[in-house]
Structure 1
Amino acid sequence: MNRERIGTDLQDTLIELTDLALQAKQLHWNVTGPTFLSVHEQLDALTDEARAGGDAVAERAVALGQPADGRVAIVAKETPLPEAPDGRLPTAAVVAHTVRVLDTVIERIRTRIAQLDSLDLVSQDLLIGIVAGLEKQRWMFDAQQA
């Protein structure tokens, strides 16, 4: 088992899920518009999902003897995600941004799922479950753009 390689995949996923959770909460506080309440609550659900996934990924890395680093400075430095816009935002802008961020996270984790196929099926399974939840979240946000 290549624990360092697996640890790198898990660390990268932790960075993305931590940033996703922070962005969802930021957007949750600043969303405005006629569908405010539903988007506000949906962002809370996304925050919870990203936090739970990040926690599971970090614990898996540590169980494999690899460090997990979710410090704010590290997340800010290493995240590949587009930055959340600042200020008060209409629901349409929040939904569009959230879909873009989810697309990025899902695509990157799916790449890791493929890589983990020959490295660690347990970590792969963990990421498959996380992606399933994120894809459901993406579907619910994307449906609001129709």
Structure 2
Amino acid sequence: MKASEELAHGLQAILVDLIELSLQGKQAHWNIVGPNFRDLHLQLDEVVAAARLHADEVAERLRALHTVADGRSATVAKTTSLQEAGEGLITTSDAIDRIVAALEGTCTTVRGVYEAVEKDDAATTDILNQILLQLEKLAWMVSAEKAKTSTP
């Protein structure tokens, strides 16, 4: 099967957001400071590993569908839907907010192309489901670092 233009475009959008997510995760990983540093430092490695794994799966799926995957830095910078990562040191609190936003933004991209992917290539939806399951879980786990309980 050859990917339709819509399917290829959607998978490419997911690919660049996954690559950007991995880059932002590493940027935060290297530069976070503050309370719960170690816990977040390790969680960010999990985010990066997941993003890299899923980026590879999406790129390989594009190739299997006879389409070119474009993960060049210029392409990622130009086409990602994620907010640009800040530079310099970042507090653990800000890093949590930023990485959760990047995780949720990537999930939004996946959900935004899901219908077209399901219509054109139902087999690829398995990949998208795995991405959503893992990234949404990671967003919850990272955001729990700042969660507060409600007390009566």
Same fold (TM over 0.5): yes
Q: List structure 1 runs of 4+ shifted beyond 3 angstroms.
A: none
Q: Give the corresponding residue for 2:34.
A: 33
Q: Higher helix proportion, which one?
A: 1
Amino acid at match of 1:70: G
Measured after TM superposition, the shift of residue 100 of structure 1 is 1.1
Residue 2 of structure 1: how far off its partner (Å): 6.5
| Structure 1 residues 43-62: aligned runs within 5 Å | 43-62=44-63
Contact 1:27 1:43 in 2 (8 A): yes
1:125 maps onto 2:126 in alignment: yes
> 1:113–1:128: 8 Å Cα contact kept in structure 2?
no
Q: Which moved more, 1:122-131 or 1:109-118?
A: 109-118
Matched residue SS, 2:83: coil
**2:2–2:67: 8 Å Cα contact kept in structure 1?**
no
Tell me if structure 1 keeps the 8 A contact 2:32–2:95.
yes
- Distance, in Å, in 1 between the alignment partners of 2:6 and 2:108 is 19
The equivalent of 1:69 in structure 2 is 70
What are the Cα deviations for residues 9-54 of structure 1, in whole angstroms up to 9, with x where unaligned? 1111100000000000000000011200000010011000000000
What secondary structure does 1:145 align onto?
coil
Per-residue CA deviations over 1:93-144 (Å, capped at 9, x if unaligned) read: 0001111111111111012122222111111111111111000100101111
Size of the alignment, in residue pairs? 146
- Tell whether 2:7 aligns with 1:12: no
Q: C-alpha separation between the residues in 2 aligned to 1:8 and 1:124? A: 15
Contact 2:19-2:52 at 8 Å conserved across structures = yes
Is there any run of 5+ residues in structure 2 with no aligned partner, and where? 148-152
Secondary structure of the 2:120 match is: coil
Decide whether the 8 Å contact of 1:2 with 1:119 is kept in 2: no
Give the equivalent residue in structure 1 for 2:98.
97
Amino acid at match of 1:55: D
Which has the greater radius of gyration?
A: 2
Percentage identity across paired residues of the two chains: 40
Distance 1:101 1:22 in 2: 11
Distance 2:112 2:85 in 1: 23
Amino acid at match of 2:63: V
- TM-score normalized by structure 2? 0.92
TM-score by length of 1: 0.96
